[in-house]
Amino acid sequence: MRQTWRWFGPDDTTGIDDIIQSGAEGVVSALHHVPTGEIWTAEEIAKRQEAIRRRSDGSPSGLEWEVVESLPVSEAIKKQKGDWRGHIAAYRQSLANLAEAGIETVCYNFMPVLDWTRTDLAWKLGHGGTCMRFDAIDFAGFDLFILKRNAAEIDYEESIREEAGKRFSAMSGSAQSTLAYNVTCGLPGAAEHLTIEDVRAHLAEYDSIDSQRLRRHFIDFLEEVAPTAEKLGLRLCCHPDDPPFPLLGLPRIMSTEADFVRIMDAVNSSANGMTLCSGSLGARPDNDLPGIMARLGSRVHFLHLRNVKREAAGIGGSFHESEHLDGDVDMVALISEVLREEARRRQAGRSDHRIPMRPDHGHHILDDLKRQCQPGYPTVGRMRGLAELRGVAKALSHAGVGLGDV
Ligand code: DNO
């Protein structure tokens, strides 16, 4: 695996010097300041590349910008409204500019309105550190009593509605505002933070878009951009829904293995691939992560390795982000499948035989508790995750184990 690290750009409190010390080999970044739908120009791309190539004292860092996360797909494209064709043209131009700069892997997602969604961004753990958590009852409380979404009650069983009501009325005003802030946190690193009114307005736009229609829009988008990406030698990789089940009555179409198979078959190009995010997919008990890697591995272009602990049976329940090796995803089995796929690629002579992975999220521990960072992106917690994941890969690729080089 190629060990990479997500960097949010010059304002990130984890600097390039820190990334070098984490042992990461490459950088994952995005031009968060460019409004969604606009072209990423060659100049802006080069500026970010230069920032990644330098330590704080100006000497070479030895690091390169290896993966884009994300080149965002606009709401106009997802809804096929307004200037969506112009946005697709801009997307293709951005891809061409990235290819020209030598960047080959581009992650994005097709989740309507909200990207990742949690109810608690700093849930206290036994050891004093914190992690992110999704609480199904709090989320129902947000939907029913803060957002007051039309007909929301039909999405929740009576027992959940009652518990949510009790819990919500016992919450202080500031706890209610924190919950609203957390749920609407949107994209990490993005300039936009959605207000409740924004969310309501966005939701209303999806009244006439069901999953079938959203999938059609997704395929239309891929039919336009995947051939361009293939010609340019780029690998697009779609990030799964996080969490992988419907929220706020919005359609969710990239939550399971079957969803990915459907989309990858519909536009059957190696440039149309997957970001395997073990933490997102792992929040559902019916997603078998090692099996997904074994079956879809040749189209997995990027790996987000993190773990989750599901707190309830079934789909749609509470979960929290656990330690990288300790949760419901069998991380050792998953990494074994990654190494098997890499061995197959080496045999086939594929140049992308080291799949970029990044330690996704991490617990806020030690010094992290004193510095500001994007929720889920602490320096020390991620470093701990990377160290553990790297250890597993190293052990599994030992000659005595027989899975080949890392
Ligand atoms: C959250 C991230 C996501 C991811 C996008 C990719 O921490 O994994 O926001 O970057 O969904 O498009």
Q: How confident is the model at residue 189 (pLDDT cuts 50, 70, 90)?
A: very low
CATH class of 2-114+209-311+320-401: alpha beta
Is 277 assigned a catalytic role? Answer: yes
- Please tell me whether the overall predicted TM-score, pTM, comes out greater than 0.95 for this model: yes
Is the CB of residue 357 below 6 angstroms from any atom belonging to ligand 1?
no
Residue pLDDT, tens place only, 196-253:
888 899 999 999 999 999 999 999 999 999 999 999 999 999 999 999 999 999 999 9
- Name the residue of 242, 252, 254, 358 to mutate for ligand 1: max ligand atoms within 8 A of Cβ: 242
| DSSP E strands, 9-83 | 26-29, 65-69
Break the chain into its structural domains and give their ranges: 2-114+209-311+320-401
Ligand 1 near 288 CB (within 6 A): no
**pLDDT of res. 400:** 81
Give the pLDDT band (50/70/90) at residue 185: confident
Residue 339 to residue 394: CA distance in whole angstroms: 10
Beta strands in 177-256 (DSSP E): 235-239
Residue nearest to atom 3 of ligand 1 (CA): 116
Going from the Cα of 342 to the center of ligand 1, the distance in angstroms, rounded, reads 24
pLDDT score of 193 = 73
Residues 236 and 92: their CA atoms lie apart, in Å, by: 12
CB 5 within 8 A of CB 29: no
**194 — pLDDT class (breaks 50, 70, 90):** confident
**Looking at 165-286, which runs of residues are DSSP E strands?**
235-239, 272-277
- Rounded alpha-carbon distances, angstroms, from residue 329 to 85, 291, 332, 390: 39, 11, 9, 16
Catalytic residue check, 360 = yes
Compute, in angstroms, the gap from residue 341 CA to the centroid of ligand 1.
24
Question: Counting atoms of ligand 1 from 1, which one is nearest the CA of 70?
Answer: 12
List, for residues 46-86, the tens digit of each pLDDT value.
999 999 999 999 999 999 999 999 999 999 999 999 999 99
**Secondary structure (H, E, C), 101-126:** CCCCEEEEECCCCCCCCCCEEEEECC
> d(Cα 293, Cα 290) in Å, to the nearest integer?
5
Name the residue with the closest Cα to ligand 1, atom 1: 116
